[in-house]
Chain A
Amino acid sequence: MRNRARMVAFLGMMTAVSLVLSYVEALIPWFPSLPGVKIGLSNLVVLFLLYRSGAASAGTVSLARILLAGILFSGPLSILYSLTGGSFSFLAMLLLKKSKRFSSVGVSAAGGAMHNVGQILVARLVMGSDAVFYYLPHLLFFGTLFGALLGGATAVLLLKYPKQEKV
């Protein structure tokens, strides 16, 4: 980016968007039967940044959003879940993107799935019971599904904002 101040402002803005998306999706009464199923709207921003600004920017925004959302809305436990899920997800997405074999749809699908895997592992640690694994099929399915959908949405965004000096 042309200068640091611009970068900071831009990423700050992206974090804000991500945060708002995170909040909005928390408002959706989704599947009261199963906790942890969320669309992951805020990941849209992270994915977009991954493609346009690079891993460092995307990772920073993701981390900032997790911490802020945790402080503002949920709590320390939830931060732990999000951090684990988020890092698993981020790593998967980064690797897949680097391989250049997948489009944003596949990348995001894997990200979504890995996010939930990470969360289940934390849940296993926290709850100390193997019963949490009963959620795995459900979470994996929806993580993949929503990830793929988000990936599609991101693809559209990426088309609208082609690679240029902007970022």
Chain B
Amino acid sequence: MLREKRWLYDAVLILLLFSLAAGSLLFLFPREEGRAVEVRIDGELLQVYALDAEGSYALRGRYGSATLVILDGRASLHEAACPDKLCERRGELSKVGESAVCLPSRIEIRIVGEGEVDGYA
């Protein structure tokens, strides 16, 4: 009954259809290059830096501190006053929505895109 060959074609076809579904997912949600990075300390939006404003910026909160480094259109955290340094290990952020958080210091940086920036530093 199960003519082997046909089922192979079926499987290939179905896999193809599924990958089309998955593919369209990637295609539809592209990651957009960010324009600026928001700095939040203790949940509060403190400052927004444009991603072309290269430099090092000291971020100091009640619970700890870190340095925001903007270089080549990418933002990253350094010299964080925390034991695990997870925020530093997060690496460089450049796409809209990406964020890095230093939980002990309660410091967060997040990339935002066009139209979301209401101030430049």
Contact = CB atoms under 8 A, between A and B. Distances in A.
Interface string B15-33: 0011011101100100000
Contact of B28 (A96, A103, A106, A137): A137
User: Do most interface residues of chain A lie in helix, strand or loop, or is the interface mixed?
Assistant: helix
Contacts of A133: 24, 28
Contacts of A151: 10
B3 interface: yes
A106 B22 contact: no
A136 B25 CA distance: 8
Interface in A98-147: 101-103, 105-106, 109-110, 113, 133-134, 136-138, 140-141, 144
User: Do most interface residues of chain B lie in helix, strand or loop, or is the interface mixed?
Assistant: helix
A137 B25 CA distance: 5
B18 A136 contact: no
B9 A140 contact: no
A106 B13 contact: yes
A113 B15 CA distance: 12
Nearest to B21: A140
A106 B9 CA distance: 8
B10 A137 contact: no
A29 to B, nearest CB: 23
A148 interface: yes
A165 B25 CA distance: 47
A28 interface: no
Interface residues of A, number: 20
B20 to A, nearest CB: 6
B62 interface: no
A110 B10 CA distance: 10
A72 interface: no
Interface of B: 1, 3, 5-7, 9-10, 13-14, 17-18, 20-22, 24-25, 28
28 contacts: A101-B5, A102-B13, A103-B3, A103-B6, A103-B9, A103-B10, A105-B14, A106-B10, A106-B13, A106-B14, A109-B10, A109-B13, A109-B14, A109-B17, A110-B17, A133-B28, A136-B24, A136-B28, A137-B24, A137-B25, A137-B28, A140-B21, A141-B18, A141-B21, A144-B21, A148-B14, A151-B10, A159-B1
